[in-house]
Amino acid sequence: MKRKRTKRFGILALGAGLLLLAGCGANNSANNGASPSASGGSSQPASSSAASGSPSASGDGIKVGILHSLSGTMAISEVSVRDAELMAIDEINAAGGVLGKQIVPVVEDGASDWPTFAEKARKLLTDDKVATVFGGWTSASRKAMLPVFEELNGLLWYPVQYEGMEKSPNIFYTGATTNQQIVPAVDWLLENKGKKFYLLGSDYVFPRTANMIIKAQLKAKGGELAGEEYTPLGHTDFSTIISKIQAAKPDVVFNTLNGDSNVAFFKQLKDAGITSDKLTTMSVSVAEEEARGIGADVLAGHLTAWNYFQSIDSPENKKFVDAYKAKYGADRVTDDPIEAGYTAVYLWKAAVEKAGSTDVDKVKEAAKGLEFDAPEGKVKIDGDNQHLYKVARIGEAQPDGQFKELWNSGDAVKPDPYLETYDWAAGLSGGNG
């Protein structure tokens, strides 16, 4: 879903893959320090299996897969989620493991390449025989892995907010679906900021699906569409788009840009003299981690919609943030997908303990209605669609790079990936990607 860039020079991939081996393996050993696993067998960069402080665990441990992009363009986002998941596993192991056994993570690199995700997922399920897999970020990677998990009856925990319109029996979605992020954000904007929306997004499935939903919602609630613009992923010059926005004079820019484009957009918006008090922007893919890259002073005042902010004041969140900073460095920040990855590990543990087994069908059955006090607050697994009940939140960027919560939905919102409970959304579910 997110941050997929067009792969340039695809024809050369094979040849250059050979040259890559030296470069790409370096990253994942930075935190694990473990010896490379014997996975081999493909031309992808070597992966390493983290021993997580229990060297003898492979005998009586429970293996779980962690499958994120540790190299390539998506590494920018996914490395942090991998870190959070490993941290959760370490915490669980330190507290005695699950069912009396230590969890042994098998870390694989999806390399920002969707077929590699499918291949590695298959390897984790058939060769390593992992109990479950935590992984993925882009919708493209999820959709590549989905048939593998369904075919082999595996279990995938997917940690990122996405465009909805999906419920696989083999995937648990711990990020938000649209009715827990985008739909409440649009409602809030209509009520508080104005009716005239300008939709700006990267040109791929997530923004297009999200904007399709937003347009239906605007139509039903008396909003007005001032313009709709998509840029290729990795687009870096927004001068023309900013002129178009200025000409259209919208009340709100709803921003579904992904990845590095956000940095260019916000920097150039500021340079053009458009500050947050002149124009409201609402972003759904800009979190604390991205705020650092954009520059806190540039982003200050702009709005964002998530289910979790690092600034949430709760004992669970304080513990999580402190542990993350202690483990990975005081300058690191947590954000929504990082938190969702961390929560996923604990939810799986709780389900396994309730089921008394790591068997996929038993775990799925046990997971129904399971609750967990996550850093974002209490979350609950919806038995019907394997999404989470989540509190929707809107935050305002502060000059220190954190977000101040302006609004939240109070109660956790029931996940509705197909927007079946919204009248105006009838007929949307057919047109997704």
- Interface contacts to other proteins, rule CB under 8 A: 5, 8-9, 12, 15-16, 18-20, 22-24, 26-27, 30, 71-73, 75-80, 203, 229-232, 234-237, 239-241, 243-244, 246-247, 260-264, 267-268, 270-273, 289-290, 292-297
Helix or strand holding residue 89 (H, E):
helix 75-94
**Looking at beta carbons only, is 191 or 237 nearer to other proteins?**
237
Closest contact distance (angstroms) between CB of 106 and other proteins is 20
**Looking at beta carbons only, is 154 or 207 nearer to other proteins?**
207
Closest contact distance (angstroms) between CB of 274 and other proteins is 8
Report the C-alpha gap between 267 and 325 in whole angstroms: 28
Output the CA angle 429-137-121, nearest 5 degrees: 100
**Looking at beta carbons only, is 74 or 391 nearer to other proteins?**
74
**Looking at beta carbons only, is 71 or 161 nearer to other proteins?**
71
The DSSP code sequence of 51-87 is -TT-TTHHHHSEEEEEEE--SSTTHHHHHHHHHHHHH
Q: What is the token pair recorded at 12?
A: 């050369």
Report the C-alpha gap between 6 and 11 in whole angstroms: 13
**Looking at beta carbons only, is 12 or 330 nearer to other proteins?**
12
Closest contact distance (angstroms) between CB of 234 and other proteins is 5
| C-beta of residue 223 within 8 angstroms of C-beta of residue 217 | yes
Per DSSP bridges, beta strands 303-306 and 393-397 are antiparallel
- Give me the residues paired with residue 392 across strands: none
Closest contact distance (angstroms) between CB of 4 and other proteins is 12
Closest contact distance (angstroms) between CB of 72 and other proteins is 8
Closest contact distance (angstroms) between CB of 76 and other proteins is 5
**Looking at beta carbons only, is 10 or 410 nearer to other proteins?**
10
Residues 6+ apart with CB under 8 A from 229: 198, 199, 200, 201, 241, 244
**Looking at beta carbons only, is 9 or 423 nearer to other proteins?**
9
Q: Strand ranges (DSSP E) for 259-392?
A: 280-283, 303-306, 371-374, 377-381, 388-389
Closest contact distance (angstroms) between CB of 82 and other proteins is 10
Report the C-alpha gap between 267 and 269 in whole angstroms: 5
In terms of phi and psi (left: phi > 0; alpha: psi -120 to 50; beta: otherwise), the region of 129 is: left
